Amino acid sequence: MKGNRLLVIVISLLAIINFSCATAGRQIDSEQVKQNIKIATSTKDDVVRVCGEPLSKNYDAGTDTEVWHYAYIEKNVTPLGVLTHELGIGTEWKCNKTVVDVYLQKSVVTDLKIDTGTTVKLNYGR
């Protein structure tokens, strides 16, 4: 009887670990962007070569600036989150994000903004 209960718990934990992750966007290496995209010399073609096609684009006619947006978010249950979920307390999640904005004028990079971070949060309740 105890063996069956343990087996059910192990299978439940594996299911939570394997099915409790979410991603959005396309993964982008911020270090590669910093090393390969240079302000005043890199072009749109260089940006596409390093980053791929952007998630979205904006254009500001007042400054004649085009902004290409890249983003990637990955959210996973932590090992502690598996335990807290099984205890009925809630679930701890770890979220990694990378956001890159490339500013272009006349097809040349004029600015680059990179925001990366990791947060860990406990969501109470099931």
Range of the domain at 95: 2-124
Our count of domains for the chain comes to: 1
Rounded to two decimals, what is the model's pTM? 0.72
Decide: 18 and 10 in contact? Cβ < 8 Å: no
| DSSP 8-state class, residue 24 | E
The tokens for 64 are 């004649």
Q: Give pLDDT tens digits for 87-108.
A: 777 777 788 899 999 999 999 9
Query: Would you mind telling me the total number of residues written for the chain in this entry?
Result: 126
Assign residue 13 a region (left: φ > 0; alpha: ψ between -120 and 50; beta: otherwise): alpha
Q: Give pLDDT tens digits for 9-21.
A: 555 555 554 446 7
